[in-house]
Amino acid sequence: MQLVFATNNLHKLSEITAIIDNKFSILGLKDIKCFEEISETKETLIGNALEKAEFVYNKYGYNCFADDTGLEIASLDGRPGVYSARYAGENVNFENNMNKVLAEMQTIEKREACFKTVIALIINGDKYFFEGEVNGVILREKRGIKGFGYDPIFMPVGYNLSFAELSAEEKNKISHRGIATKKLIAFLQKLK
Ligand code: IMP
């Protein structure tokens, strides 16, 4: 079965291709000649994931899945949350976003945070959702150089290392996206 992963992130694409049964052929957006920006206009992770998957399903006619992730920090009332990619503004980079979080939390002792991923899957018009979460704390300074996004300032519960100090393999085992992806794969493997 051909399935489109509505992402331009090659890292995410190769991650799933490596672990999914070869009865599935995973295509990226470029493979289906979708070069346009897919908008994320909703105020929830589930809304954005579904918006992206529906865009591809409706316009290109492929069975498809899409993901959306947010970092929720309790002391910041759940921010950056669904706005994680552009927390410090439009056209910002990961450093800008992390610096904003660190500045806002400078005097805050309560540092619990949670990464959440939602994957929306559409097969022949039917919709399915898969979620993954990982709890942790926001560090006081950046640590490590691996990974991406907020990894240098997030330390998962039970670890003494930030996400950016863990190998990709170790991170995938416990990460929000790793958990959601495993649920998606378990579901797909059961399909005929
Ligand atoms: P996306 O929905 O996967 O594009 O994620 C939205 C934003 O959340 C990204 O731009 C990153 O800033 C952040 N993010 C997503 N996944 C991770 C992760 O595994 N580690 C650190 N930051 C992440």
Please report the DSSP string for 72-108 in residue order. Answer: EEGGGTT-EETTGGGTT-TT--HHHHHHHHHHHTTT-
Quick one: pLDDT at residue 59? 97
Q: Is 92 in the pocket of ligand 1 (CB under 6 A)?
A: no
* Closest by Cα among 177, 181, 143, 185 to 162: 143
What is d(CA 65, CA 54) in angstroms, rounded to the nearest whole number?
9
Q: Is the CB of 149 under 6 A from ligand 1?
A: yes
Ligand 1 in contact with 72 (CB < 6 A)?
no
Residue 179 has pLDDT above 80, yes or no: yes
- Cα–Cα dist 127/121, whole Å: 6
Arithmetic mean of pLDDT, 140-163: 97
The number of domains in the chain is 1
pLDDT score of 171? 93
Least Cα distance to 69 among 113, 124, 14 occurs for: 113
**Average per-residue pLDDT in the chain?**
95
Out of 143, 150, 176, 181, mutate this one to test ligand 1's pocket (max ligand atoms within 8 Å of CB): namely 150
Return the CATH number at 13.
Answer: 3.90.950.10
Average pLDDT over residues 38-60: 96
- Local confidence band at 10 (pLDDT 50, 70, 90 cut-offs): confident
Query: Beta strand pairing status for 64-73 and 112-123?
Result: antiparallel
Residue nearest to atom 16 of ligand 1 (CA): 69
Instruction: Quote the ligand 1 centre to 11 CA distance (angstroms).
Output: 12
Is the CB of 144 within 6 Å of ligand 1? no
pLDDT exceeds 80 at position 31: yes
CA-proximal residue: ligand 1, atom 11 (nearest) = 149
pLDDT of residue 135: 98
Tell me, using a 6 A CB cutoff, whether residue 150 lines ligand 1: yes
Domain that holds residue 116: 2-191
Residues with a known catalytic role: 68
Could you tell which of 9, 48, 65, 71 is best to mutate to test the pocket of ligand 1, judged by most ligand atoms within 8 Å of the CB? 71
pLDDT class of 23 with cuts at 50, 70, 90: confident
Confidence band of 182 (pLDDT split at 50, 70, 90): very high
